[in-house]
């Protein structure tokens, strides 16, 4: 502690340990007055660890890849940023992120899917431990593409979003996610413009959002998954979410804000079906659930709306198409109370539809960011053979 003229002083903290420490600084005056403050002292940053052996991808085993490398960590925990890519050739052309590291946990494994077949997998590793910034990346590209025989899972797409790439990815390609922002047709009366870049982030939320998940950062945030080319029959989509709003209204104060969950969807023409969750003027603590039909981006209602109080923390929504019938179910584990007539604890909807061969899915959020977001926790898509 360095004394200064008058009543000021400078407190300098030194921490040579690996973990952050807290100390209590107490100040007393000759008259006996006393005040205390808790200070957090972080250890100083060190140079990033050096590679003892450079990264390499271990050949596929039981449907997944792993990366192997050795760092001079000096006993510290590895927090390297490991990023996986699909590439067009063995030189790494046209790389597209397919898995990223977060929360100081290196993504050491990559689960293969049928969409990886034909691509050359690349891994990049930026070395890091808990007392360093990421160092210089090193990469490794597989000399041969993934084959269909390397893949074990069929007909299922699952993610809990912990390694989901959130960088802007506007391309619509079979087997890839499109990650962007979009203002759907029908919202021309609302004065906002979609910004397609950096519309999503992974991390902690506020209010009703529990733990970590995928969150919207801008109005119009959109995700589209384009399956591999082919004709698709029955399918189902299950999504678990936490709305930030804790009163059940789901979205910001302006009515008409909604989230659509797509099923049997053509991501290029925006044709198919969806479940819409929308805030209306009917209730200030509930939302409406409606089945929608899309035709070249134009949406029309194909079911009666159901007003429900189930859009709370841990809300699970299931969409299913069997032959020519579209059904939707929604419920929450959060205790809810029906305070007015016309409200329901759970949602069950159905409508007859015109069968199509599309297999796409996705999520469109038109609500404001901040307190009006919905945290995405888990998504399961199943295509019936």
Per-residue pLDDT of 250-294, as tens digits, reads 998 878 999 999 999 999 999 999 999 999 999 999 999 999 999
| pLDDT at position 69 | 98
Confidence of residue 162 (pLDDT cuts 50, 70, 90): very high
pLDDT (average), residues 150-168: 93
| pLDDT, tens only, 82-97 | 999 999 999 999 999 9
| pLDDT at position 33 | 82
Neighbours of 181 (CB within 10 A): 23
2, exposed or middle or buried, with CB in 10 Å at 0-12, 13-18, 19+?
Answer: exposed
pLDDT (average), residues 100-120: 97
| pLDDT at position 3 | 55
Q: With 90 as the cut, is the pLDDT of residue 146 above it?
A: yes
Pairing of strands 176-181, 221-226: antiparallel
| pLDDT, tens only, 321-366 | 999 999 999 999 999 999 899 999 999 999 999 999 999 999 999 9
Tell me if 319 sits within 8 A of 236, measured CB to CB. yes
Describe the strand order of the beta sheet including 109-111 as a list of residue ranges. Answer: 51-61, 64-71, 109-111
Structure pTM? 0.91
pLDDT (average), residues 151-156: 85
Confidence of residue 300 (pLDDT cuts 50, 70, 90): very high
| pLDDT, tens only, 201-250 | 999 999 999 999 999 999 999 999 999 999 999 999 999 999 999 999 99
- Cβ burial 335-356 (10 Å sphere, 16+ → b, else e): ebeeeeeebbeebebebebeeb
Domains and CATH numbers, the chain: 2-41 (no CATH), 51-150 (2.60.40.2700), 156-383 (2.60.120.560)
* Chain centroid to CA 211: 13
Pairing of strands 221-226, 235-243: unpaired
């Amino acid at each position: 502690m360095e004394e200064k003229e008058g009543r000021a002083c400078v407190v300098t903290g030194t921490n040579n340990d690996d973990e952050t420490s807290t100390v209590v600084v107490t100040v007393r005056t000759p008259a006996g007055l006393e005040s205390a403050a808790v200070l957090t002292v972080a250890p100083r940053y060190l140079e990033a660890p050096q590679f003892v052996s450079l990264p390499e991808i271990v050949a596929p085993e039981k449907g997944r890849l792993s990366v192997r490398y050795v760092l001079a960590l000096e006993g510290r925990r590895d927090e390297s940023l490991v990023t996986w890519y699909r590439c067009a050739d063995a030189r790494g052309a046209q790389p597209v992120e397919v898995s990223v590291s977060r929360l100081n946990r290196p993504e050491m494994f990559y689960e293969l899917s049928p969409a990886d077949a034909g691509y050359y997998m690349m891994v990049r590793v930026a070395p890091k431990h808990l007392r360093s910034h990421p160092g210089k990346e090193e990469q490794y590209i597989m000399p041969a593409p993934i084959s269909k025989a390397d893949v074990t899972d069929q007909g299922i797409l699952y993610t809990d979003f912990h390694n989901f790439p959130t960088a802007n990815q506007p391309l619509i390609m079979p087997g890839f996610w499109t990650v962007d922002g979009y203002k759907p047709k029908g919202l021309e009366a609302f004065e906002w413009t979609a910004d397609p870049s950096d519309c999503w982030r992974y991390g902690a939320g506020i209010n009703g959002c529990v733990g970590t998940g995928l969150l919207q950062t801008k109005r119009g945030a959109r995700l589209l998954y384009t399956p591999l080319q082919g004709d698709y029959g029955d399918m189902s989509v299950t999504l678990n979410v936490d709305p930030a709003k804790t009163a059940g209204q789901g979205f910001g104060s302006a009515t008409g804000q909604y989230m659509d969950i797509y099923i049997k969807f053509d991501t290029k023409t925006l044709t198919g079906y969806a479940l819409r969750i929308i805030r209306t003027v009917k209730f200030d603590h509930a939302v409406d659930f409606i089945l929608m039909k899309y035709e070249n981006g134009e949406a029309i209602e194909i079911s009666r709306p159901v007003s429900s109080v189930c859009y709370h923390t841990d809300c699970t929504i299931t969409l299913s198409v069997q032959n020519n019938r579209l059904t939707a179910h929604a419920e929450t584990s959060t205790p809810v109370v029906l305070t007015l007539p016309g409200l329901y604890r759970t949602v069950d909807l159905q409508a007859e539809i015109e069968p199509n061969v599309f297999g796409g899915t996705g999520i469109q959020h038109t609500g404001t960011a901040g307190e009006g977001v919905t945290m995405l926790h888990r998504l399961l898509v199943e295509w019936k053979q």
